[in-house]
Amino acid sequence: MTTQPTDVILHAFDWPYEMIQARAERIAACGYRSVLISPPMKSFKHPCGTPWWQRYQPQDYRVIDNQLGNKESLSAMIAKLNQVGVRVYADVVFNHMANESKLRNDLVYPNQRDLDDYQRHAAYYQQQTLFGDLSQPLFTEKDFVAEFGIRDWKDKWQVQNGRITGGPHDRGLPTLKDSPYVIEQQKAFLLALKSLGIQGFRIDAAKHLTLNHIKQVWSEEVIQDMHIFGEIITDGGATKQEYQLFLQPYLAETQLSAYDFPLFQTLFNAMADNGDLATLVDPYCFGEALSKDRAVTFSITHDIPNNQVFRSLVMADQREALAYTYLLGRDGGVPLIYSDLNTSGIVNGDGQPRWQNQWYEPEMTGKIEFHNRMHGLPMKTVQVDKEFLAFTRGEQGLVALNKSSAERQFTFATSQKWLDLLSGEHFSPSPDGMLLMSVAGGTSRMLCVVS
């Protein structure tokens, strides 16, 4: 498989396609080289808007028409991003279809109302069609597994065959079979998006798909020249049951990348008040991070702030900033930067939407610039304890994180001048070739050599 180079991904979570297009030049100027968009397919839309999770309840793969835009606006967005050198990745939902049990009892997708709408507005839907015959449904009852809700989330068979539900009174999301027909439709969808200019895929809820399903859909034809990564949520690394049940087999039996949930848990624990930054020196060797060539790294995903069950994993503002310094400063992985339009309602210390503008703020763009400059250079620890970590990137970069509340100082042997990309400060060594560096409490530095 050929994958795209390691570059920073902007997760433009629930951004309309026209908004992304309008911001394309700014996205490129900030140093992003890829944008991950919410699922481009048909899902329920309403003149007054719909919640973010509606995008994760597919009604039809053959049509792009949802609250964020349609095929025409998506194509225009892709073209604009291509002009400025930014790739587009698409989130895809293949485990299930929309929960429409309160409206009907059948398992026909799209439903009869939507099929009728296709005929009434044939010219419009022809423009939004990716593939297939819209006079017929995409899926019927024969394409789904028997209905039951998942009860034991560490029972692999239940997780991969049961329905994701909102509780005992919810019939849940109908789970698709991994039948030849379903596989054929899903591959046709991916290839159509690829022809449209999509260059990567995020596999939503990948732990709910069997490995047989994943390997058949993401065939050589689909994955060639694409960056593909699965979302397999685990509560830690190699010693955890969820890792062994879901993530380890996926990594062993496919060539695809994955969200680095083991590293996230390591990072989350390290950033806690009683956490130890020494655990971040080489987490991979302890099974607490994925290999650097297959990892998509993050300090937050869209599920964490937007689902109550995960909200305890939201870091404090200051600690999340330190986490991003580590992820964008370290060697390895494709960093993903999360941004939304305040879907969660969580605010920062200034009372502003937490992740709405962070993607373009000077501190974040400085971290992205450091990552882009240092890509591929080796990482070497120069000082570490429970609350302080400093490491170099070859002979060109230096990263320092101070988790404590007090200022920390350290010395570094060098004959060169340095620039902190976060503060804009310049530093020069003393005549004896030592650089004295101070790092304020709760902050970080990312220095590069000034040529």
349 and 408, same domain (yes or no)? no
- Position 3 scores a pLDDT of 41
Among 351, 376, 401, identify where a domain stops.
Answer: 376
Q: Which of 361, 376, 391 is the last residue of a domain?
A: 376
Please report the pLDDT score of residue 166 as a whole number: 87
**Domain contains 1:** no
Angle between helices 317-329 and 362-374 (to 10 degrees): 20
Residues 124 and 42 in one domain: yes
Report the catalytic residues: 204, 231
Output the six-digit token pair for 395: 């002979």
Residue 4 lies in a domain: no
Overall number of domains in the chain: 2
The Cα 407–Cα 444 span in angstroms is 11
**Is 173 found in the same domain as 77?**
yes
Tell me whether strands 444-449 and 418-420 are parallel, antiparallel or unpaired: antiparallel
Is residue 52 within 8 Å of residue 343, measured between CB atoms?
yes
Residue 3, domain member (yes or no): no
Is the same domain home to 191 and 243?
Answer: yes
232 domain residue, yes or no: yes
Q: Are residues 352 and 399 in the same domain?
A: no
Are both 330 and 445 inside the same structural domain? no
Residue 2 included in any domain: no
User: From the centroid of its chain, how far is CA 205?
Assistant: 12
Could you tell me if 346 and 391 lie in one domain? no
**pLDDT by residue, tens only, the chain of 451 residues:** 334 445 899 999 999 999 999 999 999 999 999 999 999 999 999 999 999 999 999 999 999 999 999 999 999 999 999 999 999 999 999 999 999 988 889 999 999 999 999 999 999 999 999 999 999 999 999 999 999 999 999 999 999 999 999 888 899 999 999 999 999 999 999 999 999 999 999 999 999 999 999 999 999 999 999 999 999 999 999 999 999 999 999 999 999 999 999 999 999 999 999 999 999 999 999 999 999 999 999 999 999 999 999 999 999 999 999 999 999 999 999 999 999 999 999 999 889 999 999 999 999 999 999 999 999 999 999 999 999 999 999 999 999 999 999 999 999 899 999 999 999 999 999 999 999 999 999 999 999 999 8
Same domain for 265 and 414? Answer: no
**Among all chains, which residue has been given the structure tokens 């993530």?**
247
Residue type, 301: T
363 beta partners: none
DSSP string of 37-74, one letter each residue: ES--SB----TT---GGGGGS-SBSSB-EETTEEHHHH
Query: What is the domain range of residue 404?
Result: 380-449
CATH of residue 423's domain is: 2.60.40.1180
